[in-house]
Amino acid sequence: MLPGLDGTGLLFRPLVAAMPGTGTKVVSYPNDKALSLDEHARWAIRNLPGGKAVLVAESFSGLVALRVLQEARSCGTRRRFSCASFASAPMRLSRN
C-alpha cells in the first residue's frame, strides 16, 4: 500500500487491521527530505515485499504506482488499484 502526499500511510491502518494474515505492507515515504516522483518510485520498489504484489495507491501515490508498474519486471508488481488518485499532477509543485 502506497500512501498519499502525507507519506505516512496512517489512513490505511483500519483497512490493514481488517485484513490480518494477508501479508499487507504499507510503504511509508521518508519525511526528512523532499523526493522527486522517480525517487518515490525507487523508494517504493526497494520497500515492496518480495514476490508478486498488488499495489493499492492513495492520492499522490497513483503517480508513484504508475512508475513502479513501468519497472514491474524487476519488482514483481502486476496490478494496481488507485483510490482518490490522479494520473498527472493537479498543480505544479515548487521544490523550495
Q: Is residue 4 part of a domain?
A: no
What pLDDT, on the 0 to 100 scale, is given for residue 56? 85
How many structural domains does the chain have? 1
Taking residues 80-85, report their average pLDDT. 63
Residue 55 lies in a domain: yes
In a domain, 28, yes or no: yes
**Residue carrying C-alpha cell 508488481:** 77
Domain range for residue 36? 10-83
Residue 5 located in a structural domain = no
Which pLDDT band, with edges at 50, 70 and 90, does 95 fall under?
low
On whether residue 96 sits in a domain, the answer given is no
Pairwise pLDDT comparison (79 vs 44), residue with the higher score? 44
Residue 79 included in any domain:
yes
